[in-house]
């Protein structure tokens, strides 16, 4: 738990899910810089109005600006969960902040627009196009990021979509982008979603910011080449589905299977659904779940323990610009909980990530199905009834294995 001292107050903030030995703070120097900039705007005569925060990582901005009853727009379910938890931890009434998914409804006009620049330029473009109709000439528009994440192309997007833009001096390696909306600007239209076609002719639809949005990822391709598709009625999960290619091809090859697509990105799940429907039509059964792993989804939606025949997973390994494997640990141990005895987890990963060792510790064994210079495809079978430890508690230094 960290304390953020901002002009708006002193706040305790934690990342989500809470992990033992967490090394990373729940806010960065850009959050701090943004809050100081915004406090300076609140001079006499300044009126709070409709504040929209975009891409608040762990809720630091929403918690600090809660008095303005902001809308927090994000593509990340985990960020929204973190925001809720941090509001509670700071005794802020949860309804003071409205969490809205990417492309969610916004009220007009926005008085203050606060943007944390995301890693994906495509996502930023889509988000700016989405908020632009609600931005007036009087809207305060400020964005922030660590300097290494602000490029000429980032500034150009603000210029192009909203109006004249300048950058601040750097402070603690963070920088602000300050934009004066042009009232005469021409409305920009987002080029997203986009689509491409797989070698087998299947269309794939991707919303902005989704993993490998414009081509089949090499790791995903390697897993597809090596995957042995099950036969007969099967419950399959595409965990961390992105645009849903793994689940789609699995469902196409086994008409009796039912696939659940899960991702923490709202736009990923929307992409997976669009891709699935474009290929298999409106009537083929499937579930589309926005959630943090398998057991922490919106509206209490969740998978049942011991029911799944097969989980397909190409785990994320870049968390917030820091290399981290906590999500992979979580995905593997939750998969084991969701699988029935005899059910299989199929994983593809970069060779150097050593997923093999993790799977061995969680499942007690792991088969290396295939490997090349860059990737390995791994398969682990759930062999007995004892549950793995709670996912949030799994770490490299824990002794987790089947007996």
Ligand X SMILES: C[S@@+](CC[C@H](N)C(=O)[O-])C[C@H]1O[C@@H](n2cnc3c(N)ncnc32)[C@H](O)[C@@H]1O
Residue in the block written with tokens 């632009």: 132
- 401 φ/ψ angles, rounded to the nearest 5 degrees: -160, 160
- Other Cβ atoms less than 10 A from the Cβ of 239: the count is 29
Q: Per CB under 6 A, does 224 bind ligand X? A: no
Q: Per CB under 6 A, does 112 bind ligand X? A: no
Minimum CB distance to ligand X smaller for 63 or for 245? 245
Q: Per CB under 6 A, does 79 bind ligand X? A: no
DSSP calls for 184-218: TPPPP----SEEEE-TTS-EEEE-TT-TTTTS--H
Minimum CB distance to ligand X smaller for 118 or for 163? 118
Q: Are strands 51-54 and 110-116 parallel, antiparallel or unpaired?
A: parallel
Q: Per CB under 6 A, does 209 bind ligand X? A: no
195 and 203 Cβ atoms separated by less than 8 Å: yes
Minimum CB distance to ligand X smaller for 70 or for 242? 242
DSSP calls for 77-95: HHHHHHHHHHHHHTT--GG
Segment holding 229, helix H or strand E: none
Among 74, 102, 250, 327, binds ligand X (CB under 6 A): 327
Among 55, 74, 212, 257, binds ligand X (CB under 6 A): 212
CB of 20 to ligand X, least distance (A): 17
Minimum CB distance to ligand X smaller for 211 or for 363? 211
Nearest residue to 402 (alpha-carbon basis) of 336, 312, 355: 336
Among 49, 109, 316, 324, binds ligand X (CB under 6 A): 316
Q: Per CB under 6 A, does 250 bind ligand X? A: no
Among 81-89, 239-247, 280-288, 393-401, the segment contacting ligand X (CB under 6 A)? 239-247
Minimum CB distance to ligand X smaller for 246 or for 380? 246
Q: Are strands 375-381 and 339-350 parallel, antiparallel or unpaired?
A: antiparallel
Residue ranges in contact with ligand X by CB under 6 A:
78, 211-212, 217, 220, 240-242, 245-246, 262-265, 268, 292-293, 314, 316, 327
């Amino acid at each position: 738990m960290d304390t953020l001292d901002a002009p708006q107050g002193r706040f305790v903030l934690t990342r989500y899910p809470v992990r033992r030995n967490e090394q990373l703070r729940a806010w960065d120097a850009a959050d701090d810089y943004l809050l100081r900039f915004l406090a300076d705007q609140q001079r006499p005569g300044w009126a709070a109005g409709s504040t929209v925060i975009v891409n608040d990582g762990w809720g630091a901005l929403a918690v600090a600006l809660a008095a303005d009853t902001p809308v927090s727009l994000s593509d990340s379910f985990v960020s929204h969960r973190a925001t809720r938890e941090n509001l509670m931890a700071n005794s802020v009434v949860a309804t003071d902040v409205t969490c809205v998914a990417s492309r969610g409804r916004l009220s007009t006009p926005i008085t203050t627009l606060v943007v944390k620049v995301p890693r994906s330029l495509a996502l930023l473009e889509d988000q700016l196009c989405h908020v632009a109709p609600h931005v007036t000439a009087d809207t305060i528009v400020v964005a922030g990021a660590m300097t290494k994440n602000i490029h000429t192309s980032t500034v150009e997007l603000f210029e192009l979509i909203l109006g004249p833009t300048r950058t601040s001096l750097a402070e603690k390696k963070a920088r602000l982008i300050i934009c004066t909306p042009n009232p005469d600007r021409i409305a920009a239209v987002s080029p997203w979603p986009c689509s491409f076609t797989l070698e087998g002719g299947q269309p794939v639809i991707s919303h902005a910011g989704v993993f490998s949005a414009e081509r089949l990822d090499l790791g995903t391709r390697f897993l597809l080449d090596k995957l042995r598709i099950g036969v007969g009625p099967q419950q399959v999960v595409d965990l961390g589905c992105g645009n849903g290619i793994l689940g789609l091809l699995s469902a196409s090859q086994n008409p009796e299977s039912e696939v659940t697509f899960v991702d923490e990105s709202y736009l990923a799940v929307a992409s997976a659904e669009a891709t699935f429907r474009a290929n298999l039509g409106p009537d083929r059964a499937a579930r589309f779940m926005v959630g943090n792993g398998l057991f922490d989804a919106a509206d209490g939606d969740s998978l049942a323990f011991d029911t799944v025949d097969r989980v397909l997973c190409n785990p994320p390994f870049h968390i917030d610009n820091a290399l981290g494997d906590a999500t992979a640990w979580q995905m593997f141990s939750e998969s084991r909980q969701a699988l029935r005895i005899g059910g299989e987890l199929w994983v593809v990963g970069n060779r150097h990530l050593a997923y093999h060792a993790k799977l061995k510790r969680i499942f007690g064994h792991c088969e290396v199905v295939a490997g090349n210079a860059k990737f390995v495809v791994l398969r682990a079978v759930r062999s007995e009834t004892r549950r793995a430890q709670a996912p949030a508690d799994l770490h490299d230094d824990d002794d987790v294995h089947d007996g």
